[in-house]
Amino acid sequence: MIRVFKDPDELLPALADFVTAFGRESVRERGRFNFVLSGGSSPGKLYELLTTPAYRSRLDWTKVCFFFGDERFVPANHPDSNFRMAKQKLFEPLGIVENRIFQIDTSREPEQAAADYEGRIRKHFQDSPCRFDLVLLGLGDDAHTASLFPHTPVLSESSRQVMSVFVAKLKSQRITLTVPSINQARQVCFLVYGKNKAPAVKKVLEGDRNPAELPAQLIKPEDGTLTWFLDEAAAAELKQVK
């Protein structure tokens, strides 16, 4: 499903409504809400919105377990760290306790960090499938999502939940959830706004299928719902909004 809003001021509250409503449903039905956060800059305002009085009272945040869709391989206090951004904008304002945050440990070697994160995810889900309730994703100008970048080995991973990947064009080591991990989720939401994203949105949603070049095309929940939350600027090149 594609939902288009005039601008971020309309888009972000709509997504905050969606996240908190599904969070309440998850807690009601399963006793907890397994929420995977996106990195980058787009979600920062959403996280801040979730901590305002209008939203913080809508969900029992003590029942929320926070995961990361991906992490840059930098120290946790580095300006590029997705954990650092979430800590400042979400965890500290909401008083989230440490054992509810599944932080990717970037103090280890990349492969070890990936294996450790996967181990903690699997332990969290015990013997049941690692089925996150909601995975929040962004979209890069090159149509990457999480750290699933074009023409990288992680795109073809079919069994592991987490992998480390070196992104040559960014000269950046990353840790990322894999496609099968994301596609097991109950809800996957893309949060994409701004005119610079319009070409990538067009290619992913209406272009030829070419997942090696457009990794976001790989995101198709097996038994879940995919919703694109776009503003008009990011949706500007779409022929049809379904």
Residues that bind ligand 6PG (CB under 6 A): 38-42, 69-70, 72, 82, 138-140, 144-146
Using the minimum distance from each CB to ligand 6PG, give the nearer residue, 130 or 137.
137
Q: What HEC string does 85-121 produce?
A: HHHHHHHHHHCCCHHHECCCCCCCCHHHHHHHHHHHH
Helix (H) or strand (E) holding 231: strand 225-231
Using the minimum distance from each CB to ligand 6PG, give the nearer residue, 146 or 219.
146
Using the minimum distance from each CB to ligand 6PG, give the nearer residue, 4 or 32.
4
Q: How far is the CB of 210 from ligand 6PG (least distance, A)?
A: 18
CA separation for the pair 158, 180 (Å, rounded): 6
Report residue 179 as tokens: 């496609």
CA separation for the pair 5, 3 (Å, rounded): 7
Q: How far is the CB of 28 from ligand 6PG (least distance, A)?
A: 29
Report residue 92 as tokens: 């500290």
Nearest alpha carbon to residue 3 among 228, 240, 237, 224: 228
| CB neighbour list of residue 168: distance below 8 Å, 6 or more residues apart | none
Q: Which amino acid is at 46?
A: L
Q: Are 51 and 64 in contact (CB under 8 A)?
A: no
Using the minimum distance from each CB to ligand 6PG, give the nearer residue, 27 or 101.
101
Q: What is the DSSP letter of 73?
A: S
The number of angstroms, rounded, from the C-alpha of 198 to the middle of its chain's C-alpha atoms is 19
Q: How far is the CB of 43 from ligand 6PG (least distance, A)?
A: 7
Using the minimum distance from each CB to ligand 6PG, give the nearer residue, 16 or 139.
139
Q: How far is the CB of 202 from ligand 6PG (least distance, A)?
A: 16
Q: How far is the CB of 74 from ligand 6PG (least distance, A)?
A: 11
CA separation for the pair 133, 37 (Å, rounded): 11
Using the minimum distance from each CB to ligand 6PG, give the nearer residue, 27 or 135.
135
Q: How far is the CB of 57 from ligand 6PG (least distance, A)?
A: 27
Task: Find the residue with minimal CB distance to ligand 6PG.
Answer: 138
